[in-house]
Amino acid sequence: MVTSSGSPPDWQVNAAGRSKVIGAWLSVWRSRELIGFFALRDIRVLYKQAALGVLWVLLQPVATVVIFTLVFSRLANIDSQGIPYPLFALVGMVVWSYFSVATVRGSDVLVSNPQLVTKVSFPRIAAPAAAMLPPLVDMAVSLALVAVLFLYYGVSPTWRVLAAPACILLVVLAAFGTTLWLSALNVRYRDVQHAVGPLMQLWLFASPVAYPASLFEGWHALVYALNPMAGLLSIARWSLLGTPWPGWPAVVSLITLLAVLGTGLLYFTRTERSFADVI
Amino acid sequence: MDVVQVEHVSKKYLLGERLNARESLNAAAARVFRRRQRVGGELWSLRDVSFTLRDGESLGIVGRNGAGKSTILKILAGITAPTIGESRTRGRVAALLEVGTGFHPELTGRENIFLNGAILGMSRQDIKRRFEQIVDFSGVERFLDTPVKRYSSGMYLRLAFAVAAHLEPDVLVVDEILAVGDAEFQRKCIGRMEEAEQEGRTLIFVSHDLGTLSKLCMRSLWLESGAVRDAGETPTIVRDYLASGLFSTLGTTPLASAVAALYGVRVVPEGADANSVLMPGDRLLIEVDFEVTDPVPGLDLAIIVTAEGGTRVLDELVSDSGIGRLARGAFRATLAVPPLFNIGEFSVGVWFGTSHEDFLYEPAAATFSLHGSDMGRPERLLNLNLPIAVERLNGA
C-alpha cells in the first residue's frame, strides 16, 4: 500500500510499447483477490437463478455418456481398456466438460464486458484467469457422480488417485492457454465467437473421450498426442481408473500444452494494451 | 514533488479498426501486393499534450465533445497507451470514468461493494476497513443484502460512487460523472472531492459544469481537437472557453455549395455583452452570414437547433417569414429565439435548398451552451412553465 509519508513511490510509466510476458504471471498472482471476486461473482450468478442448479451441471455429461455408451460401446464395440464403458466415458467426459466450458466462457469474458475494458484499468489477465475457476465447481459435482459409479461397478481406486489434483491442474493450464489465445483474438476478430462452438465440437471427437488413446500405436500415437487433451485424458484415466501409463505420447502432450500456454501468454500480453482501443 | 508528468503525448486511433477476419485477410493480401494500403482513416485524438502536476494540485480539463478529454484521462489511468510520448504517475491512481462499471445486477449491494472495490484495485483488507464508511456515504444500509437490480437508479449511483470515492488514491481522476444523478448526489460527490483535495490528493477533473470545476480546480487545461489550446488559472481559462463557445465552429473558409456559401454562424444574447455566459432566461439571436451565388427558384434557408440528445427542437425556414426569393448577394439572417430551453448544449445547423433539392446542410455550424440551474428538472428540454389547472372531482 502506498502511504504519503516515507520515500515517494516509483513512477508508473504509460508509453507506447508492449507489456512484458514475465509481468503477466506476476499480475495473475498480484490480482489473485480480484480473480477470486470475479469467480465468486460468476458462481453466485450462475447458481442464483437456476432453480435446478446442480442438476444442470450433471445433465450434459450424463446425457453424453448415455449416448456414447449406446453408440461406441454397444454398436461400435470400442475397447475401454478393461474398465466398464460408462465409467470410462464419464471420467473422460468430466475432464472434457471442464476444458470445454472453461474455454468457451473464457474466450467470451473480455468482449462481454466492454465497459470493464474501456473504463477501468485492472490487470486484463485477471478476467480470463477467473473464468477458469467456476467450472471447477461443476467438475467437483461431476466427480461425485464418478464416485457413485465406482461403488456401483465395485471398482476401487489405487494410490494413483493422489496424482489427480496435479492432473486437474494440468487441465486448468491447458484451458487457460487456449483461453488466452481465444479471448485476445476475440477482442479484435469477433468471428472467434462463432468459431469457438464448432471448434469444441470437433476437438471433442479428436480427443480420446469416447474411445481410448491406445487405439493409436507407434508414431501415430505421437502425432495424435500433439492434441494436449489426448495426453491429459489418458493421464486422468491412469490416475482415476488405473489404465496403463500412456508413456511418450503424454510427454508430447505436455510439451504442446506448454507451447500453447507460452504462446498464449505472449499473444495476450502483446495485444492487451490495445484492447481498450479496438474492443 | 511532481506526481503527474505528461510529456508530448499524442494518441492515434485508426478509424474502422475493428475488422473481421475476412477483412484483415484481405488487407494482408493487399499488403503483399501493394506494399502499403491504409484501411480506413486515422484520427489523432491527442496531439502533443504536456503538463505536470505536483502533489495536492488539482487540474480541470475543459473542451468540446471530441476534444480528447476522455482520451487523456484513459492514458493517465493506464487504460490505453499513448501512440507517442509518455505519461508518468506516482502512487495509486484511481480513475472514475463511469459510475458503477463492473456492478453486477444480480449481486447484492454488499457483494458488489467487494467486487467493485477489487476491480478498482483495492485489497480485501482495504475494503473491509472502509466498508462502514462506504455504506454510510451511500445511505443504502437497509438494502445491503438486496440485489442491486432492485435499487432505484439514485441508490445505485450513490453506492457506486461511494466505493470509488473511498479508494484513497494519490491521484484521483474524475470524468463527467456528475452529469448523472440528482442535486443531492452531486452535492455529496463534490463534497467528497473537496475532502480528497484537503487530504492532499491530486485531482484531475473533467466537467461541463464549469461552476464546480472552478470551485474544485486551481488550474485548468483547455483542449481543442486534441491539442492544448490554453492552460492556466481556472477563472481565465473558463472565461475564454465560454467566450469561444459563442462563435461559429466553422473555419475562416466559407462552406460553399453550387448556389450559396456559408460564412459564419454565431449565437449572442440579445442586449448583452457578446462575451457573457448564456443563461436559460436569455433571449438569443442566431446570426447566419451567407452569400447567394446562384439564386435558383425556390431557394430557401433553414436554421435548425438540435439539443444534446440529437432532438431537433427548432427548424425555421426563411420562406415562413414571408420573405420571397433570395437574391444574389451577401446577407445576414437573424433568428430571435425567446427563452425556451433548459440548460445544456445545443448545436445550430444551417440548410440551403429547395423543396426537391438539398444544396448545403451543415448540422453543427455552431454550438452554444446554456449555463445555470436546471431548477431540479435535468431531463426537461423546454422551460415553458405551463400552468396546470387542478379541480376537485367528487362533490365534497
pLDDT in tens, A70-109: 888 888 888 888 899 999 999 999 999 999 999 999 999 9
* DSSP helix/strand/coil, B122: coil
* DSSP helix/strand/coil, B234: helix
Beta strand pairing status for B202-206 and B58-62?
parallel
- The pLDDT value given to residue A46: 79
Residues 5 through 34 of chain B touching chain A, CB cutoff 8 Å: 5, 13, 17-22, 24
- The pLDDT value given to residue B35: 46
Q: Where in chain B is the domain with CATH 3.40.50.300?
A: 2-243
- The pLDDT value given to residue A234: 95
- Rounded to a whole number of angstroms, the distance from the CA of B77 to the nearest CA of chain A is 6
Q: Write the burial class of residue B281 (CB in 10 Å: 0-12 exposed, 13-18 middle, 19+ buried).
A: exposed
- pLDDT averaged over consecutive 10-residue blocks of chain B (396 residues)? 92 68 60 50 88 92 82 92 92 83 88 91 90 90 91 85 84 77 76 87 84 86 91 85 55 69 84 69 88 88 83 89 84 92 87 86 79 80 90 79
Distance between CA atoms of A96 and A178, rounded to whole angstroms? 14
Q: Write the burial class of residue B328 (CB in 10 Å: 0-12 exposed, 13-18 middle, 19+ buried).
A: exposed
Residue A11 sits at the chain B interface (C-beta within 8 Å): yes
**A26-35, A241-250, A255-264: which is most confident:** A255-264
Measured between beta carbons, the chain B residues lying within 8 angstroms of A44 are 106-107, 111
Residues 183 through 202 of chain A touching chain B, CB cutoff 8 Å: 188-191
Q: What's the CATH number of domain B249-370, 3.40.50.300, 2.70.50.60, 1.10.10.60, 2.130.10.10?
A: 2.70.50.60
Q: Which amino acid is at A92?
A: G
Which of A119, A122, A191 is the closest to B97 by Cβ?
A: A119
CA angle, residues B317, B320, B325, in degrees to nearest 5: 85
DSSP string over A38-89: HHHHHHHHHHHH-TTTHHHHHHHHHHHHHHHIIIIIIIS----TTS-HHHHH
Q: Write the burial class of residue B277 (CB in 10 Å: 0-12 exposed, 13-18 middle, 19+ buried).
A: buried
- The pLDDT value given to residue B47: 93
- Rounded to a whole number of angstroms, the distance from the CA of B261 to the nearest CA of chain A is 38
* DSSP helix/strand/coil, A213: helix
pLDDT confidence band for A3 (50 / 70 / 90): very low
Question: CB under 8 Å to A170, separation ≥6 — which residues?
Answer: A232, A235, A254, A257
Report CA B216 to chain centroid distance, whole Å.
Answer: 18
Determine contact, residues B135/B142, Cβ cutoff 8 Å: no
Which residue do the cell numbers 453506492 mark?
B159
Q: Where are the beta strands (DSSP E) in B99-226?
A: 171-174, 202-206, 219-224
Distance between CA atoms of A262 and A260, rounded to whole angstroms? 6
Q: Where in chain B is the domain with CATH 2.70.50.60?
A: 249-370
pLDDT confidence band for A252 (50 / 70 / 90): very high
- The length of chain A in residues reads 279
Distance between CA atoms of A48 and A27, rounded to whole angstroms? 30
Q: Which phi-psi region, left, alpha or beta, contains residue B310 (left: φ > 0; alpha: ψ -120 to 50)?
A: left
b/e per residue, A181-201, with b = 16+ CB within 10 A? Answer: bbbbbbbbbbebbebbeebbe
Residues 115 through 154 of chain B touching chain A, CB cutoff 8 Å: 115, 118-121, 123-124, 126
Q: Is the pLDDT of residue A195 over 90?
A: yes
Q: What's the CATH number of domain B2-243, 3.40.50.300, 1.10.238.10, 3.40.50.720, 3.40.50.620?
A: 3.40.50.300
- The grid cell for A139 is 467438475
Measured between beta carbons, the chain A residues lying within 8 angstroms of B28 are none
Q: Is the pLDDT of residue A1 over 60?
A: no
Taking the domains of chain A in order of start, what are their residue ranges?
Answer: 21-71+79-268
Question: CB under 8 Å to A79, separation ≥6 — which residues?
Answer: A212, A214, A215
Considering chain A, what percentage of its residues have pLDDT values greater than 70?
94
- The pLDDT value given to residue A85: 92
Q: Is the pLDDT of residue A153 over 80?
A: yes
Determine contact, residues B22/B34, Cβ cutoff 8 Å: no
Give the pLDDT confidence of A201-231 residue by residue, as tens digits: 999 999 999 999 989 988 999 999 999 999 9
Please state, in angstroms and as integers, the Cα–Cα distance from residue A34 to each residue in A28, A123, B31, B107, B163, following that order. 9, 9, 42, 16, 15
Determine contact, residues B99/B164, Cβ cutoff 8 Å: yes
Which of B114, B126, B200 is the closest to A4 by Cβ?
A: B200
Q: Is the pLDDT of residue A185 over 90?
A: yes
* DSSP helix/strand/coil, B370: strand
